[in-house]
Amino acid sequence: MTSLDNGLEAGDALRVLDRVFGYKSFREGQQEIIDHVVAGQDALVLMPTGGGKSLCYQIPALVRQGVGVVVSPLIALMQDQVNALTALGVRAGFLNSTQDADERREVEAAFLAGELDLLYLAPERLRVDATLRLLDRGKISLFAIDEAHCVAQWGHDFRPDYLALSMLHERWPDVPRIALTATATPATHAEIAARLNLRDARHFVASFDRPNIQYRIVPKSEPRRQLLKLLRTEHAGDAGIVYCLSRASVEKTAEFLVENGIAALPYHAGLDARTRAANQSRFLREDGLVMVATIAFGMGIDKPDVRFVAHLDLPKSVEGYYQETGRAGRDGLPSTAWLAYGLQDVVQQRKMIDTSEGDDAHRRRLGAHLDAMLALCETVECRGVRILAYFGQEGSACGNCDTCLSPPESWDGTIAAQKLLSTVVRLMRERRQKFGAGQIIDILLGRQTPKVVQHGHDSLTVFGIGTELSEAEWRGVVRQLLAQGLLSVEGDYGTLVLTDASAEVLGRRREVPMRRDPERPAKAAKVAKAARSAPTADLPEEAVPAFERLRAWRAATAKEQGVPAYVIFHDATLREIAAGAPASLEELGKVSGVGENKLAKYGQQVLETLTA
Ligand code: ADP
Ligand code: ZN
């Protein structure tokens, strides 16, 4: 980047965007943030995953004098980040515990000699005196604090080392700081500002809307089969992430997919570090792998072409769900967020909350998170609107989620609710018994199962009063009563008990609107069309062969260089090249994602591949 690194001014941001990154215009919010930091001011940036946060500190680091120091907890990804920058012609290095002394010395020397544009640091490095003294001896253009929510003590990614970052300001008062996160809750936001000493920083809050992600939540019946069908019909050959709650179900699901011919890898905290790293690296490098994982996987995974995120178990909060699904479609191309959810999830989650460590206040907080997640699952409104509302933002119906595409009918579930709640009441009052959903539904349906007969439940007055609904519909009723707080579960067996609000329904003082689960979840055909998300989806027929040739060329080149394919070019860039068929280097250079360095390095090969 020698030609760029001196004498640049604020107005040069757009030029850097074009020349280095090959992008023609800024995304929402980027320009303002970049101008602010280039001018030497502090910033706190809240932007969704895929919103384009990296450029918000990378461009100011290139424009300002000195080295941009990026604090990031993602040690395993630093090498890839540096490789991606190097491919753009940006001079970058990192310091973390994975290096030996020689490698470290080399980076330190480059830093001192002013031969770096960006230096990535693990936060724990900043607790080491030698690092601080090193930084004192160089010229720093800015501090970027990535994944800034790691400073939030209530968050799931808390890193104690982040607390020490408040000292950056005292030690280097003239160096601007920019903290960035995709975590949107106002509480986290306030905590970041306080703990990083960023109260005087300007806050930039982008919209958390992710229009290219299609949100779908379906009733769970046979989750693995449902998943397989989704992958086969809509995501054949696509890269994606499948989230499961437990390590055991991660293992089982990965095996199941492999047995069914889908290239899948497991990832959870029970695997040894080397296997985890190897699986993560394969997922990033190879095309079309499916990662089956617990939520231990994902933070900072900046693979742009994750085409789907599937949840086989209910996430614990809307916040977590949003973060996890947000890993789909960073490149802006159509992607799917799919969740299968059922009654058993609610039972299991409530149980986990009841038995969780911590005080009552903590349990109440967990309960409130779960309730919000359940409300999202059971809504008849646009999922996107509900998610935005959760983060305190407004939006209009997305037109792309399952409820927008095939609006669920709602029906008056008051009588059904009364029947079900009365059954619970009878069991509790007349028999001093509590049962789970299965037994209660059997009673409503008038089934003389051995368990019903054994307990004499066929002599209850409520026996057989609910034959107008099917078993699946009754399960839907139970789920929705749980979601609305009109029923509650307790204990190891998920027994159903009344809540304070149940009395309002039983006393006919409250109506209970319910959502009817679609017969065939979200009308597969209609959704599938909208979601056809293979990167070739809306490419003109005649451009597909060229696209496939470019992909093959990219795969070979990436392998040769030992970098992920997206480091060479993104799918979106290859698509644009295939569709536009540029005939000269000059034309190729106009494509989004083709900067000067990549044009010089790969331009000729791309043109040859196109005409091959
Ligand atoms: P975040 O860190 O916010 O999740 P990234 O910085 O990884 O997002 O950016 C997401 C993707 O969008 C990246 O692939 C990046 O190259 C691309 N991108 C960012 N800004 C622009 C832009 N102005 N024009 C085109 N693509 C962009
Ligand atoms: Zn919608």
- Atom of ligand 1 minimally distant from the CA of 48: 3
Tokens of residue 176, six digits: 């601007």
288, 378: one domain: yes
566, 489: one domain: no
Q: Which protein residue's CA is at the shortest distance from atom 10 of ligand 1?
A: 50
Query: 385 alpha carbon to ligand 2 midpoint, in Å?
Result: 7
474 part of a folded domain: yes
- Render pLDDT for 338-359 as a digit per residue (tens, 0 to 9): 999 998 898 889 888 888 888 8
Query: 331 alpha carbon to ligand 1 midpoint, in Å?
Result: 7
The whole-chain average pLDDT of the chain stands at 90
345, 485: one domain: no
- Average pLDDT estimate for 521-540: 55
- Residue whose C-alpha is closest to residue 26's, from 64, 58, 72, 71: 58
Query: 52 alpha carbon to ligand 1 midpoint, in Å?
Result: 3
Q: What is the pLDDT of residue 8?
A: 52
Q: Which protein residue's CA is at the shortest distance from atom 12 of ligand 1?
A: 52
- Render pLDDT for 168-189 as a digit per residue (tens, 0 to 9): 999 999 999 999 999 878 888 8
Looking at the structure of the chain, the number of domains it has is 4
Q: What is the pLDDT of residue 485?
A: 86
- Average pLDDT estimate for 228-232: 96
Strand partners, 337: 215, 309
Please report which helix (H) or strand (E) contains residue 32, including its range: helix 30-38
Q: Which protein residue's CA is at the shortest distance from atom 25 of ligand 1?
A: 23
260, 363: one domain: yes
Which residue, chain included where needed, has tokens 């993560």? 280
H runs (alpha helix) in 43-119: 53-63, 75-87, 101-112
Query: 238 alpha carbon to ligand 1 midpoint, in Å?
Result: 20
Sign of CA dihedral 309, 315, 318, 319: negative
Query: Which of 408, 429, 460 corresponds to the end of one domain?
Result: 408
526 part of a folded domain: no
pLDDT over 70 percentage in the chain: 95
- Render pLDDT for 435-485 as a digit per residue (tens, 0 to 9): 999 999 999 999 999 999 999 999 999 999 999 999 989 999 998 998 888
Q: Is the pLDDT of residue 528 over 60?
A: no
304 pocket-lining for ligand 1 (C-beta < 6 Å): yes
Q: Which protein residue's CA is at the shortest distance from atom 15 of ligand 1?
A: 52
Q: What is the pLDDT of residue 523?
A: 46
- Atom of ligand 1 minimally distant from the CA of 302: 7
d(CA 460, CA 444): 10
What is the 8-class DSSP label of residue 243?
E
Long-range contacts formed by 219-222: CB under 8 A, 24+ apart: 219/340, 219/341, 219/342, 219/472, 219/476, 219/517, 219/521, 220/312, 220/340, 220/341, 220/342, 220/344, 220/345, 221/342, 221/472
27 pocket-lining for ligand 1 (C-beta < 6 Å): yes
- Average pLDDT estimate for 225-229: 97
222, 200: one domain: no
Which residue, chain included where needed, has tokens 């160096």? 175
- Average pLDDT estimate for 10-27: 89
Query: 46 alpha carbon to ligand 1 midpoint, in Å?
Result: 14
State the residue range of the domain holding 603. 538-610
d(CA 8, CA 45): 24
Lowest mean pLDDT segment, chosen from 142-151, 366-375, 527-536: 527-536
Could you list which residues have their CB under 5 Å from ion ligand 2? 382, 384, 398, 401, 404
Q: Is the pLDDT of residue 279 over 70?
A: yes
367, 381: one domain: yes
52 pocket-lining for ligand 1 (C-beta < 6 Å): yes
Q: What is the pLDDT of residue 193?
A: 94
Which residue, chain included where needed, has tokens 């095939």? 406
145, 201: one domain: yes
Q: What is the pLDDT of residue 504?
A: 93
- Residue whose C-alpha is closest to residue 314's, from 290, 348, 291, 337: 348
341, 472: one domain: no
Tokens of residue 348, six digits: 């299991």
161 part of a folded domain: yes
Q: Which protein residue's CA is at the shortest distance from atom 2 of ligand 1?
A: 53
Query: Which of 347, 381, 408 corresponds to the end of one domain?
Result: 408
Query: Which of 156, 181, 205 corresponds to the end of one domain?
Result: 205
1 part of a folded domain: no
Q: Is the pLDDT of residue 165 over 90?
A: yes
Q: Kindly identify the ligand whose nearest atom is closest to the C-alpha of 49.
A: 1
122 pocket-lining for ligand 1 (C-beta < 6 Å): no
d(CA 151, CA 454): 56
146 close to 180: Cβ distance less than 8 angstroms: yes
Count of Cβ atoms closer than 10 Å to residue 236 Cβ = 10
Q: Is the pLDDT of residue 3 over 60?
A: no
Q: What is the pLDDT of residue 287?
A: 85
Q: What is the CATH number of the domain that holds 86?
A: 3.40.50.300
Q: What is the pLDDT of residue 457?
A: 95
d(CA 241, CA 279): 12
Which residue, chain included where needed, has tokens 């290239």? 263
49 pocket-lining for ligand 1 (C-beta < 6 Å): yes
- Average pLDDT estimate for 57-80: 93
Lowest mean pLDDT segment, chosen from 239-248, 377-386, 531-540: 531-540
Measured CA to CA in angstroms, residue 577 lies from 224, 286, 395, 557, 603 at distances of 37, 21, 33, 17, 11
Q: Is the pLDDT of residue 520 over 60?
A: no
Ligand 1 pocket test, candidate residues 45, 120, 183, 330, most atoms within 8 A of CB: 330
- Render pLDDT for 280-331 as a digit per residue (tens, 0 to 9): 999 998 889 999 999 989 887 889 999 999 999 999 999 899 999 999 999 8
- Atom of ligand 1 minimally distant from the CA of 24: 24
525 part of a folded domain: no
- Atom of ligand 1 minimally distant from the CA of 17: 23
Q: What is the pLDDT of residue 534?
A: 57
Which residue, chain included where needed, has tokens 């190097």? 86
Q: Which amino acid is at 239?
A: A
382, 441: one domain: no
Q: What is the pLDDT of residue 531?
A: 43
- Residue whose C-alpha is closest to residue 55's, from 83, 93, 80, 81: 81
167, 228: one domain: no
| List of E strands, 211-275 | 213-219, 240-243, 264-267
Q: Kindly identify the ligand whose nearest atom is closest to the C-alpha of 70.
A: 1
573 pocket-lining for ligand 1 (C-beta < 6 Å): no
431 part of a folded domain: yes
302 pocket-lining for ligand 1 (C-beta < 6 Å): yes
Q: Is the pLDDT of residue 530 over 50?
A: no
- Residue whose C-alpha is closest to residue 198's, from 188, 210, 209: 188
Q: pLDDT tier at 532 (50, 70, 90 boundaries)?
A: very low
d(CA 337, CA 49): 14
Tokens of residue 520, six digits: 């065939």
- Residue whose C-alpha is closest to residue 181's, from 300, 302, 78, 328: 300
126, 221: one domain: no
Q: Kindly identify the ligand whose nearest atom is closest to the C-alpha of 397.
A: 2
Ligand 1 pocket test, candidate residues 23, 72, 309, 576, most atoms within 8 A of CB: 23
465, 340: one domain: no
Q: Kindly identify the ligand whose nearest atom is closest to the C-alpha of 209.
A: 2
34 part of a folded domain: yes
Task: Find how far residue 284's CA is from the centre of its chain.
Answer: 15
Q: Kindly identify the ligand whose nearest atom is closest to the C-alpha of 87.
A: 1
399 close to 457: Cβ distance less than 8 angstroms: no
Q: Is the pLDDT of residue 429 over 60?
A: yes
238 pocket-lining for ligand 1 (C-beta < 6 Å): no
157 close to 299: Cβ distance less than 8 angstroms: yes
Q: What is the pLDDT of residue 355?
A: 86
Q: pLDDT tier at 97 (50, 70, 90 boundaries)?
A: confident
If one compares 409 and 118, the residue with the highest pLDDT of the two is 118
Q: Kindly identify the ligand whose nearest atom is closest to the C-alpha of 183.
A: 1
6 part of a folded domain: no
d(CA 26, CA 335): 22
